[in-house]
Amino acid sequence: MMSVRITSIFAIAALAAGCADLNKQVVPPVPIVAPPTKAEVWQGIASQADRDRLANVSGAWAAGLAAARKSFATAIREEGALLRQDAAQVRPAPTPGSYSCRLVILGELARANPRSSGSSLSSATSRPRARF
């Protein structure tokens, strides 16, 4: 009885194997390339010098503030938390509304910069620029 069962299993397996398509071509999987992330895109555009400057933002901030503090300590103190390196806010996004924007330049400006006039702490607003 056992040999009949084993013979039947082999016969069914042989018949099933005969149904296989031996000429079927195996299609290799097509790799899917994910689109680049935002970080990868800007890093592909930025020069190595740009990436180095971004990696040293904290150091550049501290150096610029130290250089400006030599001549403009009072002006820096009057800016309050704006110029404190550790003054990060929990919710940095501004609330909706109108804002007056200004540019504060710390430390020594590069001579190649057309706005450059040497060491300064300056605040540029819609009003004429005030140099400290």
Spell out the alpha helix ranges (H) of 29-121.
Answer: 38-45, 48-55, 57-79
DSSP, collapsed to helix, strand or coil, labels residue 104 as strand
The pLDDT of residue 32 is 92
Domain definitions of the chain by residue range: 39-87+100-132
Nearest to 103 by CA among 117, 115, 113, 112: 115
pTM, two decimals, is 0.47
The pLDDT of residue 74 is 92
Nearest to 130 by CA among 57, 83, 70, 79: 79
CA–CA dist 116, 109 (Å, integer) = 5
The whole-number mean pLDDT for each consecutive block of 10 residues of the chain, a chain of 132 residues, reads 72 66 80 90 89 89 87 89 82 81 73 45 43 46
